């Protein structure tokens, strides 16, 4: 089905540009790429809404050979350019397709300009598995704890983005849409924070794909109640990591994340109230 194929390609393009922004070192390029990735996520949301309204099936599957790893920035750029050009063959005639295509024409022009700047073609170390935190000297135990936390939490944040996004498309009140958007935005920030830390350590990797059972939720009250407990567990993991790491800046960052998780719980309680009300 072309609709399901288009959604999958858009999902993969959002992931590609997002993780490319984590991997690159140049601060200006990094921020610009992340802006493009957020544009792609809006496309994904609009596309999902259109598919849902027209009773067209879609899922969060990814191609088995989909990868974002590379040793060269220019190679990352060329892969993204080819992916966008292939994607355009799937667009049909509609206002949404025109919007997505025109946005991506601008993205393509920006990516092609990067290829003209040889100074940007630096080696990519985000995938080299060095497990070295460059900003301070960590012990082996601290490095292990940080590595485990980043892998687990980056997957969790990706999962939450996609689950809340799936439910937002199916929300029945403006308040639900707003609460889901807050949770999605917060998880985007956390995913970016953890992804950029993983890139610094050379352990950047895609989160594992989601099974439909993860996001096709029939009992939202049960899901939210369980989610509140998961957020409590995440707070505890942040607290443990903060107390076990001697680097003050890292410890302070994880305390900051811990406090943000506290408010996530309050938003989820509001959603529970909406559902029960």
- Structural domains of the chain, count: 2
What backbone torsions phi and psi does residue 101 show, to the nearest 5 degrees?
Answer: -65, -45
The 10 Å CB-count burial string (b at 16+, else e) for 101-130 is: eeebeebeeebeebeeeeebeeebbbbeee
Residues 35 and 99 in one domain: yes
- pTM of the predicted protein model: 0.94
Residues 160 and 63 in one domain: no
Residues 85 and 167 in one domain: no
Task: Count Cα neighbours of 90 within 13 Å in the Cβ-side half-sphere.
Answer: 17
State which of 79, 100, 124 marks the end of a domain.
Answer: 124
Residues 92 and 223 in one domain: no
State which of 105, 124, 143 marks the end of a domain.
Answer: 124
Residue-level pLDDT, tens digit, the chain, 277 residues: 458 899 999 999 999 999 999 999 999 999 999 999 999 999 999 999 999 999 999 999 999 999 999 999 999 999 999 999 999 999 988 999 999 999 999 999 999 999 999 888 889 999 999 999 988 889 999 999 899 999 999 999 999 999 999 999 999 899 999 999 999 999 999 999 999 999 999 999 999 999 999 999 888 888 888 888 888 887 787 777 778 888 888 888 888 888 888 888 889 888 888 877 6
Residues 264 and 132 in one domain: yes
Residues 67 and 165 in one domain: no
Res 2: pLDDT = 58
Which domain CATH number covers 170?
1.20.1260.10
Residues 162 and 236 in one domain: yes
Structure tokens at 42: 């809006």
What backbone torsions phi and psi does residue 57 show, to the nearest 5 degrees?
Answer: -75, 145
The 10 Å CB-count burial string (b at 16+, else e) for 200-233 is: bbbbbbbbeebeeeebeeeebeebbeebbebbee
Residues 118 and 142 in one domain: no
What backbone torsions phi and psi does residue 237 show, to the nearest 5 degrees?
Answer: -65, -40
C-beta neighbour count of 186 within 10 angstroms: 19
Residues 151 and 205 in one domain: yes
Residues 166 and 99 in one domain: no
Residues 194 and 213 in one domain: yes
Domain of residue 87 covers 1-124
Structure tokens at 76: 């990352």
Residues 139 and 66 in one domain: no
Task: Report the distance separating Cα 232 and Cα 208, nearest Å.
Answer: 23
Which distant-in-sequence residues (6+ apart) come within 8 Å of 37 by Cβ?
Answer: 14, 17, 18, 21
Answer for the pair 34, 192: CB distance below 8 angstroms, yes or no.
Answer: yes
Res 32: pLDDT = 97
Res 4: pLDDT = 82
């Amino acid at each position: 089905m072309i609709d399901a194929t288009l959604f999958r390609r858009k999902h993969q393009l959002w992931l590609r540009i997002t993780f490319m922004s984590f991997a690159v070192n140049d601060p200006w390029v990094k921020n610009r790429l992340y802006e493009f990735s957020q544009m792609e996520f809006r496309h994904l949301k609009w596309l999902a809404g259109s598919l849902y309204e027209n009773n067209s099936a879609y899922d969060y599957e990814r191609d088995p050979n989909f990868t974002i790893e590379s040793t060269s920035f220019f190679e990352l750029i060329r892969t993204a350019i080819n992916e966008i050009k292939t994607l355009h063959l799937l667009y049909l005639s509609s206002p949404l397709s025109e919007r997505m295509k025109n946005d991506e024409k601008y993205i393509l022009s920006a990516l092609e300009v990067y290829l003209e700047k040889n100074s940007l073609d630096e080696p990519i170390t985000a995938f080299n598995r060095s497990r070295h935190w460059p900003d301070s000297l960590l012990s082996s135990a601290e490095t292990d704890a940080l590595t485990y936390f980043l892998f687990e939490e980056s997957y969790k944040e990706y999962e939450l983005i996609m689950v809340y996004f799936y439910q937002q498309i199916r929300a029945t009140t403006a308040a639900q849409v707003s609460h889901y958007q807050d949770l999605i935005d917060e998880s985007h920030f956390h995913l970016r924070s953890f992804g950029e830390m993983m890139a610094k350590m050379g352990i950047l990797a895609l989160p594992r794909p989601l099974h439909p059972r993860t996001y096709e939720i029939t009992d939202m009250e049960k899901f939210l109640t369980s989610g509140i407990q998961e957020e409590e567990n995440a707070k505890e993991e942040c607290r443990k990591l903060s107390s076990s790491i001697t680097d003050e800046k890292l410890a302070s960052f994880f305390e900051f994340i811990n406090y943000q998780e506290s408010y996530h719980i309050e938003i989820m309680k509001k959603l529970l109230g909406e559902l029960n009300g």
